[in-house]
Structures are given as structure tokens and as C-alpha cells.
Amino acid sequence: MTDPFDALRLPVTPVTPDPRFAERLRARLERALLEPRSTPMTTTTDQAALDVPLATLTPYLAVDDARGALDFYVEAFGARRRGEPIVMEDGRIGHAELAVGGSVLMLADEFPELGLLGPRARGGVSQSLRLQVADVDEAVRRAMQRGAALVRAVADYPHGRQGAVDDPFGHRWILASAPTAARPAEPEPVPGHGDVAYITHVVPDTAAARRFYGEVLGWRYAAGSAEDGWHIEGTAPMAGLGGGATRPEVQLCYQVDDLAEALRRVREQGGEAGEPAPRPYGLMADCVDNQGARFYLLQSS
């Protein structure tokens, strides 16, 4: 028997999906296949997330891809969805909530007509969000694996272990652990006569060097007394970075008991010795040995 409604049916016409939706769906399918223990693709109501109370101050982010941001914060930072997002008639997410630990994060797509734009549309990061996590190294690794950019390598600070990333939507996150109980600082050993007292890495670009060694060796820096000089914290022997060189080199500073006598011997042996100059840590002189290598001598105060 012929169905009388067949005449009303329209032919099935394939449509091209929105490219951003297709890209997000493809990425989620790849993660589901390659990481079978990752977050399920279906969204379920998390009652525990709904029970997280709103704090006095709640961050509310504008992002250029709210659906992608929700996925990222769930997968990278362990956030939990607080119900279903509110979707506007034009398809943009007008409001969504996540529980992050004991806090709530709200976000929405950009609405330029209301003056709500994400960091990238405004030209860069304008604020930072500090997120306390159990394992900073793992949190940074997960975030970078899912598209975040490393801003500051993970390192130990007096206030705890920290690292910083920019998420794929332009927001900066400081990932931190709770500070551990402070231990009494051990006194630095005093170098003896002839010991290396300080190492200076002289480079053309100190900013590039700080980024490189910060990521490779976890170095932290404090501004030095010289222009474009940076002290490297916690190294033995003590060391620093200096800028303005035409080519990189390492300059050593040696401790001496009597600077005047040491300078006399430098000249006597065919080297060059500058005049002693007072420094906050003692008297120092710039020298060149009999083969052209530059070094410094220090008589500590």
C-alpha cells in the first residue's frame, strides 16, 4: 500500500557542516580513539558539580569558541560541567558553567555587539587565573598536550611549585600547588682563594637565554645590579646572565685573598689587569690572561 505522505517528503540533501564544528568533532573522535580512558563524549549531569556553591567572586570568561573551551577545561584541568549550556538562537553559547575543584567558572561565546570579546580579539592576555592543582607538572603537561602554550616552565618558588600556560582561547592560567613548609635556608659556602666565585653567561639576548635555560634547567632569575644583568637563583657556584655580547661566552670570576697582589701577578705573567672597582659584595677587577681570555678577580668584603 502506498503511503499517502510520500508526496510530502523532501529528498535527503547532504549539507556541509560548519568547519569549526567539524574540526572539534574530529578532534574529540581522535581523542576518544587514542585515549580510551579520557572523558566520555556524552555529557551527563554531575550532581556534585551542581552542588558547588558560588563564591563571593566568580570569574566569567568570554571565549571565541565556548564549546571547545568547555572541552579543554574538562580535559586539561579536570573541570566538571554544571548542567547544560544555554544556547542562543544563532548557535552561540550564551552561558555555561564549570565546577573546578570547589570553585565555579562561568563562560560564554564572544558577543561583540555587547562589548564582550576574548583576549585574542582584544590583542592579548589582560588577566591571569590561578588554579591550585595536586600535580603542577602533570597539569601543565595535559594542558600543553591539548593546545596550551607554555608561558613559564614549572619550578619551585617560596610560595609553592608553579607553571603558567596560555590556553587555546587566550586566557593565562597560573597552575600552582600548595606551598610546602619552609625549611631554614642553608648558608652558601664561602669560596676560598682561587675558587670560582661567580659565572657569567654573556649573551646577545638575555630574554631568549632566560626562556631557554628556564625551560631546560628550571632556572629562576632576579634582576642584577648591572644593566641587563640577571642573577640565577640557587646555583652553585653562583651564576648570572649578562647581555650585550656580539657572541655568547662564559666569563669566570675567581676569589682571591689579596686583590692588589693578584693583579700584580697578572701583569707580571703577561696578562692585563684593570683597576679595582667597589661592588656591593667586595672589590672586583676585569682581567685578560696571557692568551686573551677575559676573567675577573674578586676580593670579597
User: Which of the four pLDDT bands, split at 50, 70 and 90, describes residue 199?
Assistant: very high
User: Longest C-alpha distance within the chain, in Å?
Assistant: 117
In a domain, 185, yes or no: no
Tell whether 216 and 164 lie within a shared domain. Answer: no
Tell whether 141 and 62 lie within a shared domain. Answer: yes
**Run of H or E including 33:** helix 19-34
In a domain, 21, yes or no: no
Tell whether 169 and 74 lie within a shared domain. Answer: yes
In a domain, 144, yes or no: yes
- The Cα–Cα gap between 246 and 239 comes to 20
Report the range of poorest mean pLDDT among 10-14, 79-83, 142-146, 250-254: 10-14
Mean pLDDT computed over every residue of the chain: 84
In a domain, 219, yes or no: yes
Q: Which residues pair with 22 in a beta bridge?
A: none
300 burial level (CB within 10 Å; 0-12, 13-18, 19+) = middle
Number of structural domains (the chain) is 2
Residue 236: which residues within 8 A CB-CB, separation 6 or more? 188, 189
Tell whether 231 and 166 lie within a shared domain. Answer: no
In a domain, 160, yes or no: yes
pLDDT above 70: percentage of residues in the chain: 81
Tell whether 134 and 206 lie within a shared domain. Answer: no
In a domain, 32, yes or no: no
CA 171 vs CA 91, 123, 126, 191: distances in Å: 23, 12, 8, 46
Q: What is the pLDDT of residues 92-149, one digit of tens each?
A: 999 999 999 889 999 999 999 999 999 989 888 878 999 998 899 999 999 999 999 9
**Radius of gyration of the chain measured on its C-alpha atoms:** 29
Question: Is the pTM higher than 0.85?
Answer: no
DSSP string across 176-226: E-PPPPPPPPPPPPPP-TTSEEEEEEE-S-HHHHHHHHHHHH---EEE-SS
Which CATH number does the domain housing residue 200 bear?
3.10.180.10
The separation between the first and the last C-alpha atoms of the chain, rounded to the nearest angstrom, is 107
Tell whether 230 and 168 lie within a shared domain. Answer: no
Domain of residue 92 covers 44-176
Say whether pLDDT at 19 is over 70.
no
User: Which of the four pLDDT bands, split at 50, 70 and 90, describes residue 40?
Assistant: very low
Tell whether 214 and 162 lie within a shared domain. Answer: no
